[in-house]
């Protein structure tokens, strides 16, 4: 049994959960999880139905894109996932989805502002659009790196789908659901033609400060872990 078995099991479990909740379909999307204390990730294989794979099919890949475990090629977006982990030290899990309502905003190229306090508390001050890049391309990875510096946890990828992340896999999945809630509500609000209210700036500032505090604590925890290795 692999020493990374628990990571593989978690990635497979949430991959199938995403399909069950229709946040992605078929072989679309991908999920990864950072291996604690190492420059390694567990990530879904490319172009395979989540209900057709076994736990041993989940790939273990290092930060140099070398496949250490797994019978199949890792996700085409593996480089993008690794760049997120390198540039956002608070992140331990990433979900790339093709969820319907977030994808609407990927097509109209419009970000979602702070409209609910629960979403803002977990996701950040906005859900911005990452400019288009071909799937698996270096350009897409660079576009992602540029955008995630705003410390938010959810993004829309232009003409593609969505990207959600979190301190844990559970947290990342919750952010996927909060993203869809915000996107669905904002879509219908826009369709009404009525003015849309946003959260007051001071409320957004306070909620984001709490989010940043949680992120900073995780960054400090991981730094201490590395120093004590």
The pLDDT value recorded for residue 205 is 98
The structure's pTM equals 0.96
Quick check: is 77 catalytic? yes
Nearest 5°: CA angle at 89, between 85 and 90? 110
| Assigned fold of 5-214 | L-fuculose-1-phosphate Aldolase (3.40.225)
User: What are the C-alpha distances in Å from 91 to residues 73, 85, 104, 151?
Assistant: 23, 6, 26, 10
The pLDDT value recorded for residue 125 is 98
User: What are the C-alpha distances in Å from 14 to residues 19, 51, 227?
Assistant: 9, 11, 31
62 three-state secondary structure = strand
Check 77, 110, 177, 227 and give the catalytic one: 77
Q: Which residues of the chain have pLDDT under 70?
A: 27
Helices 78-87 + 138-147 axis angle, to 10: 30
Q: Dump pLDDT digits (tens) for 173-222.
A: 999 999 999 999 999 999 999 999 999 999 999 999 999 999 999 999 99
Residue 133 φ then ψ, to 5°: -150, 145
The pLDDT value recorded for residue 27 is 67
Q: Is the dihedral of CA 8, 12, 17, 23 positive or negative?
A: positive
């Amino acid at each position: 049994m692999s020493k990374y078995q628990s990571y593989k099991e978690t990635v497979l479990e949430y991959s199938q959960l995403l399909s069950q909740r229709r946040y992605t379909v078929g072989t679309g999307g991908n999920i990864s999880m950072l291996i604690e204390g190492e420059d390694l990730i567990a990530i879904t294989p490319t172009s395979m139905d989540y209900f057709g794979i076994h736990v041993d099919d989940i790939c273990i890949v290092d930060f140099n894109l070398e496949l250490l475990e797994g019978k199949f090629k890792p996700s085409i977006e593996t480089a993008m996932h690794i760049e997120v982990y390198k540039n956002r030290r608070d992140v331990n899990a990433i979900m790339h989805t093709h969820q319907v309502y977030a994808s609407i905003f990927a097509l109209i190229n419009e970000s979602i502002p702070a409209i609910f306090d629960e979403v803002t508390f977990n996701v950040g001050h906005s859900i911005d659009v990452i400019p288009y890049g071909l799937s698996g391309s270096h350009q897409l990875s660079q576009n992602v790196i540029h955008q995630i510096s705003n410390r938010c946890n959810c993004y829309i990828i232009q003409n593609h789908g969505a990207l959600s992340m979190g301190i844990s896999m559970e947290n990342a999945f919750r952010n996927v659901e909060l993203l869809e809630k915000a996107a669905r509500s904002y879509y219908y609000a826009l369709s009404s033609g009525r003015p849309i209210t946003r959260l007051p700036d001071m409320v957004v500032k306070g909620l984001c400060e709490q989010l940043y505090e949680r992120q900073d604590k995780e960054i400090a925890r991981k730094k201490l872990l590395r120093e004590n290795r």
